[in-house]
């Protein structure tokens, strides 16, 4: 999920409701057999294959928005791919993740490295986070 500073500050209640709904849906998708059945029917595959696809390509831990990891590797990838001119400084990292850190009460934060992104959804999240890092490195909000 990506937002800008103004939206994060002005529409915090909307963002919080969205995140709560996302968390509830994610929990349902991995705890209720009806969710797996609905997914299997929607894509026209067996429930066994749907479970295999879900568990292998979309592990719940990777879909949690609160989970971020691999900042150093992501910055190295971003520099080598010319998304960033240099790794973010500590103040730039603090600015980029201040809302995430405050919301999740964490002191260390990170991003999934592009080179470790496997599914299309995860890759899209990685690219989006790199774009946010690029904006932070240029002083944009």
Cα–Cα distance for residue pair 135/141, rounded to 1 Å = 7
What confidence score (pLDDT) does residue 122 get? Answer: 45
Burial 11-40 (b: 16+ CB within 10 A, else e): eeeebeeeeeeeeeebeebbeeeebbeebb
pLDDT for position 33: 95
User: What integer pLDDT is reported at residue 41 of this predicted model?
Assistant: 96
Domain match, 36 and 83 both: no
Cβ partners under 8 Å of residue 115, min gap 6: 73, 77
Our count of domains for the chain comes to: 2
Residues 35 and 79 placed together within one structural domain of the fold: no
Looking at 13, 29, 58, the residue that finishes a domain is 58
Closest CA to 1 of 132, 130, 136, 125: 125
pLDDT at 24: 94
For residue 39, give the nearest of 30, 56, 125 by alpha carbon: 30
Per the domain annotation, does 115 fall within a domain? Answer: yes
**3-state SS assignment for residue 133:** helix
Which structural domain, as residue segments, surrounds residue 48? 1-58
From first to last of the 141 residues of the chain, give the pLDDT tens digit.
667 777 878 888 898 898 899 999 999 999 999 999 999 999 999 999 999 999 999 999 888 877 667 788 888 998 999 888 999 888 888 777 776 666 554 433 334 344 444 444 444 444 444 444 444 444 443
């Amino acid at each position: 999920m990506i937002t800008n500073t103004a939206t994060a500050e002005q529409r915090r209640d909307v963002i919080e409701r969205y995140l709560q709904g996302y968390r509830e849906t994610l929990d349902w998708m991995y705890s209720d057999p009806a969710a797996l059945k609905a997914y299997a029917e929607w894509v026209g595959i067996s429930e066994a294959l749907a479970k295999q696809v879900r568990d292998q390509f979309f592990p719940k831990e990777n879909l949690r928005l609160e989970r971020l990891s691999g900042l150093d590797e992501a910055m190295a990838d971003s520099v080598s791919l010319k998304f960033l001119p240099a790794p973010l400084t500590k103040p730039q990292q603090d600015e980029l993740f201040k809302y995430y850190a405050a919301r999740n009460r964490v002191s260390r934060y990170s991003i999934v490295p592009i080179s470790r992104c496997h599914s299309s959804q995860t890759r899209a999240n990685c690219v989006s986070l790199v774009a946010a890092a690029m904006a932070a490195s240029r002083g944009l909000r």
